[in-house]
Amino acid sequence: MKILECVPNISEGRDQAKISAIKEEFSKHPKVRLLDVSSDQDHNRTVFTFLGGPSEVKEAALSFASKAIDLIDMRGHRGGHPRIGAVDVVPFVPVQGIEMREAVEVARSFGKELGKRGIPVYFYEEAAASPERRDLPTIRKGEYEGLREKLGDPRWKPDEGPDAFNPKSGATVVGARFALVAYNVNLKTKDLALAKEIAKKVRFKDGGFPCVRALGVDLKDKGLVQVSMNLTNYRVTDIPTVYDFIREEAGKRGVDVEESEMIGLIPLTVLEGIVRHYIRCRQFSIRQVIEQRLLEFE
């Protein structure tokens, strides 16, 4: 059986009526399974995770995106997370029985259809049309506020859709990638400069850990700041590595970690690495988990 995962991020994390209406779109697609919906008010962002067969996932993603574009108006959007549009990013992730090239085909097909609906579309990661557009932060640089100017630059002509600025919906970044871990560490301080300083030290592009993207975010509702991260390959840089580093850097300034959080779903092997590190159970395997063995038995 071929299983493809889709993890779209929308620029709405506060209006529960809109989020619920968008979520309702999945009821029209019984062959896909919605696994998780994670909203964050400070980021003003919601992440959906669903999976199914490749064609069914593509159709559900188009239905989902159309509803989100209809309901979300970027002209009034404010939030702590970088974004370029109402449907900000739509990654497709091969899970079972499907090669990355097939995920790329779905991403390209989805992007083409979305472009026909009046949304400028850029392809990233494995679906990128050029090396310069492979990294999501590069495409999203300048964010929604800088999109009008970016679209006027011939070097940033969209891969699909119009090159005219759509003030209500912005643009969408579509791609195919491997499993990503969205992991955040909240610090017991309101010092945003500290969170930004630590984020700079941890992210790869500024000399930090490989396969780590990071930024400092002000969590006003919680009275905390956050080091928000994407681990693009958790086998290269895992959660214990970044958590220990952040805790140590914050501790140098007399700041403790309040908590950490994982956004959306993660591969089970992520937890395998945490167990091996923190309780020094070096030989631990997910195959020691009863539920995992039951799945294998089935």
Whether residue 77 lies in the annotated active site: no
| 3-176 CATH fold | Formiminotransferase-cyclodeaminase; Chain B, domain 1 (3.30.990)
> Edge-to-edge, what's the strand order for the sheet holding 181-187?
212-219, 224-231, 181-187, 257-263
For the domain spanning 181-266, the CATH number is 3.30.70.670
Question: Per the residue annotation, which of 29, 43, 77, 81 is the catalytic one?
Answer: 81
Instruction: Find the distance separating the first CA and the last CA of the chain, reported in whole Å.
Output: 14
pTM attached to this predicted model: 0.79
Give the pLDDT score at 297: 66
Q: Where are the domains of the chain?
A: 3-176, 181-266, 268-298
> What CA–CA distance (Å, rounded) separates 143 from 88?
10
* Residue pLDDT tens, the chain, 298 long: 899 999 999 999 999 999 999 999 999 999 999 999 999 999 999 999 999 999 999 999 999 999 999 999 999 999 989 999 999 999 999 988 899 999 999 999 999 999 999 999 999 999 999 999 999 999 999 999 999 999 999 999 999 999 999 999 999 999 999 888 999 999 999 999 999 999 999 999 999 999 999 999 999 989 999 999 999 989 899 999 999 999 999 999 999 999 999 988 888 888 988 999 998 998 888 888 887 777 776 5
Q: According to the model, what pLDDT value does residue 285 have?
A: 86
Identity (one letter) of the amino acid at 71? L
